[in-house]
Amino acid sequence: MTDRALIDAAFAARERAYAPYSRFKVGAALLAADGRVFTGCNVENAGLTATSCAERTALFKAVSEGATAFTAIAVVGSMAGEQNTLVTSPCGVCRQALFEFTGPALRVIMAKSGDDYLVKTLGELLPLGFGPNNLA
Ligand code: THU
């Protein structure tokens, strides 16, 4: 799976974003170690705190389908009808949710387009992350 293919899957997922309140549409594509790709979009809610980000939608879909090891996630976001000007980086809650399963190694691909993107590890985005090892 190329970065480009994962980014394309994130853009396709973004089309299904339910974002009537912010109008900021986000798509994510999470690559499992077994090769499966799980996509997600943000799903907003009139009671705003019930909103799910695209990354957690993808993660929870994956875990509920039996995938718990992941190597990369692509994230794309922009206002409805507009092109990205900034990369969309996962929010703090999503960083923590992903860290649970991947630790610092996950590659986080933050894309403006299929050939304009930034890659960081989750460890760079969430230094000294708190995870399962802390409770062992
Ligand atoms: N959002 C995501 O889905 N992922 C991110 O990485 C950043 C923010 C969503 C949440 C909300 O629906 C909208 O974008 C504006 O914050």
Residue 23 confidence (pLDDT): 98
Measuring from each residue's beta carbon to the nearest atom of ligand 1, which residues come in under 6 Å?
A: 19, 22, 24, 26, 42, 44, 51, 53-55, 75, 77, 88, 90-91, 94
Write the pLDDT tens digit of every residue in 86-104: 999 999 999 999 999 999 9
- The preferred substitution site among 21, 25, 45, 51 for testing ligand 1, maximizing ligand atoms within 8 Å of CB, is 51
Residue 85 confidence (pLDDT): 87
Cβ contact 32:66 at 8 Å: no
As a whole number, the mean pLDDT across the chain is 97
Write the pLDDT tens digit of every residue in 24-38: 999 999 999 999 999
Residue 64 confidence (pLDDT): 98
Tokens standing for 65? 């389908």
Tokens standing for 104? 């610092």
Ligand 1 centroid distance, CA of 74 (Å): 14
Give the helix/strand (H/E) hosting 102: helix 92-102
**Which domains are present in the chain?**
3-128 (3.40.140.10)
Ligand 1 centroid distance, CA of 136 (Å): 32
Short-list 27, 35, 39, 28, CA closest to 2: 35
Q: Is the pLDDT of residue 51 over 90?
A: yes
CA 26, CA 37: separation in Å to the nearest integer? 16
Residue 84 confidence (pLDDT): 83
Count, residues in the chain: 136
Write the pLDDT tens digit of every residue in 65-87: 999 999 999 999 999 999 888 99
CA 50, CA 38: separation in Å to the nearest integer? 21
